[in-house]
């Protein structure tokens, strides 16, 4: 399968959306760090993570498709992104997927606090790594500089 301009544009457009969501995630993490017991900041962090995760796997899917690798599900996108060097820690992303699924279907304080801890201590780094990888693909270093 050849990469086409529309596939090229799709992953870049979705990455623009991911950059916005990632910015909100960073803001929510900063607010949560300043007031860790504030329930609204905890909710904001969880929701910003969910949005960032959803866009992340979709960008991975589109980027892999652009690269000639077709995937359908988030788990398949994560596995292929890890296999193809897009992600550095595939297990971290599988953990994110499982926690994201739990977060979207469970609405209690205990799960929310665990989710906040996982997001702050583990998941932010994975999203940051993907974000940087994709930024580097958009803006490759120039030869001779």
Tens-place pLDDT, residues 25-62: 999 999 999 999 999 999 999 999 999 999 999 999 99
- Which tokens is 7 given? 């596939």
| pLDDT value, residue 5 | 65
What is the distance, to the nearest Å, from the Cα of residue 140 to the centroid of all Cα atoms in its chain? 21
What per-residue confidence (pLDDT) applies to 3?
A: 56
| CA nearest to 126, candidates 88, 71, 74, 73 | 88
Residues 74 and 94 sit within 8 Å (Cβ to Cβ): no
Is the distance from CB of 24 to CB of 51 less than 8 angstroms?
A: yes
Spatial distance between the Cα atoms of 18 and 125, rounded to a whole number of angstroms:
15
* Percent residues over pLDDT 90 in the chain: 75
Residue with the larger pLDDT of the pair 82 and 7: 82
pLDDT in tens, 87-139: 999 999 999 999 998 887 766 778 888 889 999 999 999 999 999 999 999 88
Position of tokens 């993570």?
49
pLDDT band at 6 (very low <50, low <70, confident <90, very high): confident
Residues 75-100 pLDDT 10s: 999 999 999 999 999 999 999 999 99
Assess if CATH 1.20.120.330 describes domain 5-138: yes
Which pLDDT score is estimated for 1?
A: 45
């Amino acid at each position: 399968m050849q990469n086409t301009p529309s596939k090229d544009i799709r992953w870049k457009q979705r990455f623009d959306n991911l950059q916005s969501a990632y910015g909100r995630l960073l803001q929510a993490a900063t607010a949560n760090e300043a007031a860790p017991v504030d329930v609204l900041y905890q909710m904001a962090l969880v929701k910003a993570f969910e949005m960032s995760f959803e866009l992340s796997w979709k960008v991975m899917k589109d980027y892999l498709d652009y690269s000639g690798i077709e995937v359908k599900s988030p788990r398949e996108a994560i596995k292929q992104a890890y296999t193809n060097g897009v992600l550095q820690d595939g297990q971290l992303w599988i953990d994110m997927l499982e926690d994201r699924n739990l977060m979207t279907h469970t609405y209690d304080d205990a799960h929310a606090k665990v989710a906040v801890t996982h997001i702050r201590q583990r998941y932010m780094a994975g999203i940051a790594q993907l974000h940087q990888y994709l930024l580097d693909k958009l803006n490759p270093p120039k030869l001779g500089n």
